Every structure is written in C-alpha cells, then in structure tokens.
Amino acid sequence: MARPKPEAFQKTKVVAENRRARYDYHIEDKYEAGIALTGTEVKSLRFGEGSIAESYAEVKDGGEIWLVNANIPEFSHGNRYNHEPKRPRKLLLNVREINKLHGAVARQGMTLVPLSIYFNNRGRAKVELALAKGKKAPDKRATEKERDWKREQGRIMRERG
C-alpha cells in the first residue's frame, strides 16, 4: 500500500519570504524546521519584521543546523536584553532529517536555503528549509522565458474571452 502524501505546511502568518531562492536554485526537497529564538525575536517576528533574503543554513560538525545571516531587527520596546539582529539561530529538526541533509550537502554539493519564516496554526515560528541545487545562467534564462510565456498565455486567453 502506498504511503499517503504529507499535506503542505500549515502557514497561518508568513513573516518573511525568500522569493529569489526559487529563481537561483532548483528546489529538491522541503523541510519544516523550528527555530530557537529569544523572546524579543519572537515579538519582532509577530510584528512582521524580518528578512531572509541573503540567508542560508549550514550543518555544523556537532550535528546541528544553523540559520546564518537571517535579519530579525531589534524589538522596538525591548530593553537591555534585546537580541543581536544577525546572530546565527539554531534550527530544530529530527536527528534522521539532520543526517539526511548533512549527507546531501556533503556528498552531492547541495545547499540549504530558507524559503520562508512563518507561524503555524499553533503559533510556533517555523522555517521552510529547502534542499536545493544552484542554477546556471542558461537555466535562469529558461526560467525567465517560461515565466514570460505563461504571462503572455494569460493575456491571450483574456483577450479571446
């Protein structure tokens, strides 16, 4: 009997999205990971502040995955215990998932790219992490051509009724 497909991640509030990642990379697999955050970081995210445009994830030798270069600005009403905006943040995954990601990054030359930060239906901050392979320039041009053709198809269909 075939295993049922898992349903898509339940995103109730998307805080930050890395739209450039889909243009720069071929997305292979997607994973949902929790983030270890401090209180003021959660408050900043709840206000919709945060950016993952230039961020990436890396596997450290201790068997941990860290989100690097993600910008969560300081909380406006925070006190002296406010957080550092670009500090590395630990991602929370199962050991089996971490081993799988570590093997893909080490052997196959793949990259861990965060696609979005969001709150799930239980109010927990999550990261949609993708195992991706970089695109070359011709691939990017083909993607752009395909997107333009889809847009043109939509125009033609609207004109014809």
> Could you report the per-residue pLDDT of 6-63, keeping only the tens digit for each?
667 778 889 999 988 888 888 999 999 999 998 889 989 999 889 999 999 999 877 8
Distance CA 22, CA 132 (A): 9
Instruction: Give the CATH number of the domain where residue 63 resides.
Output: 2.40.280.10
pLDDT above 70 coverage of the chain, percent: 96
- Three-state secondary structure of the chain: CCCCCCCCCCCCEEEEECCHHHHHEEEEEEEEEEECCCHHHHHHHHCCCCECCCCEEEEECCCEEEEECCECCCCCCCCCCCCCCCCCEEEECCHHHHHHHHHHHHHHCCEEEEEEEEECCCCCEEEEEEEEEECCHHHHHHHHHHHHHHHHHHHHHHHHC
> Is the residue at 143 inside a domain?
no
Q: What is the pLDDT of residues 138-158, one digit of tens each?
A: 888 998 899 999 999 999 999
> Is the residue at 149 inside a domain?
no
> Is the residue at 8 inside a domain?
no
> Is the residue at 146 inside a domain?
no
Contacts of 149 (CB under 8 A, 6+ apart): none
> Is the residue at 121 inside a domain?
yes
Distance CA 115, CA 71 (A): 14
Q: Is the pLDDT of residue 80 over 90?
A: no
State the total domains in the chain.
Answer: 1
Average pLDDT, the chain: 88
User: 119 falls in which pLDDT band (50, 70, 90)?
Assistant: very high
So what's the pLDDT on residue 78?
A: 77
Domain that holds residue 22: 13-135
Q: What is the pLDDT of residues 89-105, one digit of tens each?
A: 999 999 999 999 998 88
Strand partners, 81: none
pTM for this prediction: 0.81
Token duo for residue 99: 């081993």
> Is the residue at 46 inside a domain?
yes
Distance CA 3, CA 98 (A): 22
> Is the residue at 39 inside a domain?
yes
Distance CA 90, CA 93 (A): 10
Q: At residue 141, what is the residue type?
A: R
> Is the residue at 130 inside a domain?
yes
Q: Is the pLDDT of residue 114 over 90?
A: yes
